[in-house]
């Protein structure tokens, strides 16, 4: 039995500072199962840092991150912590701005590396898994290509398949389309929409306001390490309450229309 | 006394045996220097301090002193502390470790140069640091330095002549033995040089093939 009111992913009072510089100032965020949350905001606002805190790539200096009934960033002795976090990360897929595909491995190798090493799948199971996931992102016909032979959009779709191959409970997208040529953005957005239709829980840091509005259940606007405003996309993009949100969106739209 | 190459065929069996030993010692030392280089590079970058520090000293010993002296030390010196190695083994170890240190320098630089995102992506999938190094970072680093490692291997082939001084009957010593019998240094040194050149060509061919294979996955 799942209680829909218990958050699936729960960030409690997240704080992060580098010396005197506070990047995250007491941020809390609850994401329900199947929910899709977009984080928008100017660069340097802390949105990527918050996302990277979820799987502890950038550890918080204060606060807690929970996935279901497990604390992700719990305090443990180094060795135990490493074991714990490696286990946890298998449940959290992440997609990066610059794809970070492994250039020395084929598309198949990229998708199956982690499942083979961590779940002990046989070669046949790995092949099946790779075909399944690559089919989902429309890259099955490139299964034996190397990353250098793919376009940016294709690389990002493979990166999504690689993350999905671990059957994660949550997917994190860190400006997944920011490094792409404009004409390649759509193919990645389509894959993400498909995931949304399958009710994958997602946290998306993005500059694609149109996409965020179309796909997300909730939008957070961050600036200078705080959540300035949050709400459903219709409200956030049509008539936000906060002046900073209004200014940001105004500037952003002006740039987008240029 | 003019040149007379007609004496050469009579010693061809000795010379060819020398070629075989030279290839064997080069191959053994090359393999040791390759895997040793990877091992040393990982230790130098990621080992705990009590491993890193002695390694630095070891590295200095092998980079800062003549290879000839290292071979003497391994073959003649170690006997005194009860380690009596056959000349061939001492030669492979000496040459192998010497070039492992040079390869390690190359590989360390290459590991540092691998994009941080690679380690991050691997860790994000749930791989441990060690697994990520082994499967993602190190293979890319090694791939990036295959050409300079190849150069080191050519140098290794030429330096293998030094193991003649500890009595391995490789190509140079074989030529010297033939010269001892015939007093014809020019002829046999030229023949030995020709064989080194041929081995060198073979090695370059192999290295080019490896480079091309590796190039595909870029």
Q: Which residue's entry shows tokens 């997300």?
A: A216
Q: Is B164 exposed, middle or buried (0-12, 13-18, 19+ CB in 10 A)?
A: buried
Copy the structure tokens of residue B51. 């491993």
Q: Is position B2 within any domain?
A: no
User: Residue B63 CB: number of other CB atoms within 10 A?
Assistant: 12
B211 touches chain A (CB under 8 A): no
- Residue A149: CB partners within 8 Å, gap ≥ 6? A142
- Residue B187: CB partners within 8 Å, gap ≥ 6? B3, B4, B5, B7, B8
DSSP H/E element including B113? helix B87-113
Which residue out of B119, B126, B135, B215 would a mutagenesis test of the A interface target, given it has the greatest number of A Cβ atoms within 10 Å? B126
Q: Is position B202 within any domain?
A: yes
Q: Is position B41 within any domain?
A: yes
> How do strand A62-67 and strand A36-40 relate by DSSP bridges?
unpaired
Domain containing residue B78: CATH number: 1.10.3720.10
**Residue ranges in chain A whose pLDDT is less than 50:** 1-2
Contacts of A166 in chain B (CB under 8 A): 125-126
Which chain A residue has the Cα nearest residue B132?
A114
Beta carbons of A174 and A203 less than 8 angstroms apart:
no
CB spacing of A102 vs B140 below 8 angstroms: yes
Would you state the pLDDT for residue A1? 42
Beta carbons of B122 and B136 less than 8 angstroms apart:
yes
Q: Is position B205 within any domain?
A: yes
Provide the shortest C-alpha distance from residue B96 to chain A (in Å): 27
Total domain count, chain B: 1
Beta carbons of B95 and B25 less than 8 angstroms apart:
yes
**Residue ranges in chain B whose pLDDT is less than 50:** none
CB spacing of A103 vs B216 below 8 angstroms: no
Q: Which residue's entry shows tokens 């030993």?
A: B21
Q: Is position B1 within any domain?
A: no
Beta carbons of A74 and B108 less than 8 angstroms apart:
no
CB spacing of A100 vs B115 below 8 angstroms: yes
Q: Is position B119 within any domain?
A: yes
Domain with B52 in it: 8-217
Q: What is the pTM of this model?
A: 0.88
Copy the structure tokens of residue B9. 């065929």
Phi, psi of A100 (to 5 degrees): 55, 40
């Amino acid at each position: 039995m799942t209680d829909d009111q218990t958050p699936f992913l729960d960030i409690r009072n997240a704080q992060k500072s580098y010396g005197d510089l506070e990047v995250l100032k007491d941020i809390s965020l609850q994401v329900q199962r199947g929910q899709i949350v977009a984080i928008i905001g100017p660069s340097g606002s802390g949105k990527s840092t918050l996302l990277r805190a979820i799987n502890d790539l950038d550890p918080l200096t204060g606060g807690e991150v929970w996935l279901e009934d497990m604390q992700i960033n719990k305090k443990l002795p180094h060795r135990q912590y490493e074991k714990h976090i490696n286990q946890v990360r298998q449940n959290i897929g992440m997609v990066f701005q610059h794809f970070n595909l492994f250039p020395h491995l084929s598309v198949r190798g990229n998708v199956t590396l982690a499942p083979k090493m961590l779940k002990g799948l046989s070669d046949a199971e790995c092949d099946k898994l790779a075909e399944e996931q690559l089919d989902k992102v429309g890259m099955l016909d490139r299964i034996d290509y190397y990353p250098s032979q793919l376009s940016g959009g294709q690389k990002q779709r493979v990166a999504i398949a690689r993350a999905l191959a671990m059957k994660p409970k949550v997917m994190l997208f860190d400006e997944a389309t920011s490094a792409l040529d404009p004409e390649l953005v759509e193919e990645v957005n389509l894959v993400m929409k498909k995931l949304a239709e399958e009710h994958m829980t997602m946290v998306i840091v993005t500059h694609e306001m149109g996409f965020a509005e179309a796909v997300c259940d909730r939008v957070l606007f961050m600036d200078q390490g705080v959540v300035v405003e949050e709400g459903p996309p219709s409200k956030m993009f049509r008539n936000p309450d906060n002046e900073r949100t209004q200014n940001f969106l105004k500037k952003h739209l002006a740039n987008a229309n240029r | 006394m003019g040149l007379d190459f007609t004496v050469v065929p009579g010693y061809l069996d000795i010379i060819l045996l020398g070629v075989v030993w030279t290839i064997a010692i080069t191959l053994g030392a090359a393999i040791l220097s390759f895997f040793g280089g990877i091992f040393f590079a990982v230790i130098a970058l990621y080992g705990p301090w009590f491993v890193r520090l002695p390694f630095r000293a070891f590295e200095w010993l092998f980079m800062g002193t003549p290879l000839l002296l290292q071979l003497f030390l391994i073959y003649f010196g170690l006997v005194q502390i009860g380690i009596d190695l056959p000349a061939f083994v001492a030669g492979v170890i000496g040459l192998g470790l010497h070039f492992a240190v040079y390869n390690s320098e190359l590989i360390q630089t290459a590991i540092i140069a691998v994009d941080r995102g690679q380690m991050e992506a691997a860790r994000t999938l749930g791989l441990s640091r060690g697994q990520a190094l082994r499967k993602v970072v190190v293979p890319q680093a090694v791939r990036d330095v295959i050409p300079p490692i190849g150069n080191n291997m050519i140098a290794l082939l030429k330096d293998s002549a030094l193991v003649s001084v500890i009595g391995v009957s490789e190509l140079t010593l074989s030529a010297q033995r033939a010269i001892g019998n015939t007093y014809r240094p020019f002829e046999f040194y030229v023949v030995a040089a020709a064989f080194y050149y041929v081995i060198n060509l073979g090695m370059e061919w192999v290295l080019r093939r490896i480079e091309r294979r590796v190039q595909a996955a870029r």
